[in-house]
Amino acid sequence: MKTLQVRSSLREEMLDITDEVIQILPGGNGVCVLFTQHTTCGLTINENADPDVKSDMLGFLHRLIPQYESNFKHFENNSDAHIKSSLVGSSVTVPFENGKLCLGRWQGIYLCEFDGPRERRILISLIIT
């Protein structure tokens, strides 16, 4: 098991962690499972070529689930972050071959921060085949 520490700088942002994950991979083939133990951020795979994809995703989630909503009861004012985290998910799984992630041409791995800025911890489990 490996650990990756990621620091966010905004309340909501998507941080491309693909290069950091690549640095952890051994040679050979297998599966890389990433998991975050936090309840107000998530992990996803999406396009990493056009930065508008990140702003479109964050913008839509912000409009869909605003931070302040009259029916939210959670006293920390981050109910939106918990909901967004559940929608995005807390893990991703990516196969790798010859020490390289088997991502598509435009794909990257993102930490989706919904309650930053914070230090986040991602657990990485490598299954070698």
**What's the confidence (pLDDT) of residue 29?**
98
| pTM (predicted TM-score) | 0.95
Model pLDDT for residues 60-73, shown as the tens digit of each residue: 999 999 998 888 88
pLDDT in tens, 12-21: 999 999 999 9
H/E stretch holding 57 reads helix 52-64
Tell me the DSSP string of 72-124: ---TTS-HHHHHHHHHH-SEEEEEEETTEE---TTEEEEEEESS-S-EEEEEE
Kindly list the structural domains of the chain, giving each domain's residue range(s) and its CATH number in brackets, ordered by start.
Answer: 2-128 (2.60.120.460)
Residues forming a β-bridge with 31:
95, 127
Tell me the percentage of the chain whose pLDDT exceeds 90. Answer: 92
